[in-house]
Chain A
Amino acid sequence: DIQMTQSPSTLSASVGDRVSITCRASQSINDWLAWYQQTPGKAPRLLIYKASSLQSGVPSRFSGSGSGTEFTLTISSLQPDDFATYYCQQYKNYSPYSFGQGTKLEIK
């Protein structure tokens, strides 16, 4: 099975900051990587798919990059609504899907 590891587990930042979250896969997943945002009490929301494609309706301050085993989610200028928990997920074909453990983005 493919293991996904996110870092950091917690990130403190301020409105307007540029932040990045890293996700590493235990084996190559090409670009079969998605990023989700979850706020307390709500279902996750898809932000990025295929490692770098922005889901419809998601602000352009969110971007994704990477391929193979290392991926990054970047938020260019944090807004108040962005303080949430972020999960990466691999969905490589013919493999069981798996999520990272999550990164909580907190207000500094």
Chain B
Amino acid sequence: AQSVTQLDSHVSVSEGTPVLLRCNYSSSYSPSLFWYVQHPNKGLQLLLKYTSAATLVKGINGFEAEFKKSETSFHLTKPSAHMSDAAEYFCVVSPAGGTSYGKLTFGQGTILTVHP
């Protein structure tokens, strides 16, 4: 079984300040982990993925995430927020095997607001 917990339903930052979106996971198998972003009334766009290579993963638009197995966390960060980063972010787990193979488990989402 696997699950994802996004620790904040809403995060509000000022433009130019750092962004931290927190995600904890549990999985019976060595998981793949993803962050997706969804702008209003749009589909989901893949920001970055972890698939058991480097624990620090760099993604698009300046985002990065660090996989910490001991803490079962996969937090998303960005050094400097931009107005265009305002969106909803989903932390997602995909098992590497087992009967749930191919089924993504989504967190409940974090809405990021960026103030001028």
Partners in one complex: no
